[in-house]
Amino acid sequence: MTDTAEGFIGLVGAEAPKASDGRASLTLEADERHLNPAGTVHGGLLATLVDTTMGAAIRSAVGEEVPATSQLSITYLRPGKPGPLVVSAAVRKRGDSLTVCEADVEQDGRSLVHALATFALLEP
């Protein structure tokens, strides 16, 4: 068993994302705690995972500035089930004060989620 991250992402049982050079990844073993009443992975969990992973990707590219999500669009492609969820994110465009990032969640080699977000960069 691995140590979970601190803060909000730790509450869902995830490790901190691994990030460098504008890219990040995170893996979470989804279990019964992560399911909605229909028995599939809760959409709010998936949104949390992509938002957190995209934030880590941006932090790895911008240095001291702090990314704050200003817009997040999520397309749920298929339902998830208990088992490993693999999240990957990459910075796509950087402006003077906004950065655009994309992320995907896969399970068993199949896409569950595609996300696109805009982040404002705040001074620390």
Q: Which residue has the tokens 């934030």?
A: 55
Q: pLDDT digit of tens for each residue in the chain (124 aa)? A: 445 677 888 889 998 999 999 999 999 999 999 999 999 999 999 999 999 999 999 999 998 888 999 999 999 999 999 999 999 999 999 998 899 999 999 999 999 999 999 999 888 7
Residue 105 located in a structural domain: yes
Domain residue limits at 112:
16-122
- For residue 25, the number of C-alpha atoms closer than 13 Å in the C-beta half-sphere is 5
Domain count of the fold of the chain: 1
Residue 42 located in a structural domain: yes
Is there a contact between 111 and 102 (Cβ–Cβ < 8 Å)?
no
Residue 9 located in a structural domain: no
Residue 94 located in a structural domain: yes
Predicted local confidence at residue 3, as pLDDT: 57
pTM here?
0.93
Element (H, E) at 6: none
Radius of gyration of the chain measured on its C-alpha atoms: 14
CATH of residue 31 = 3.10.129.10
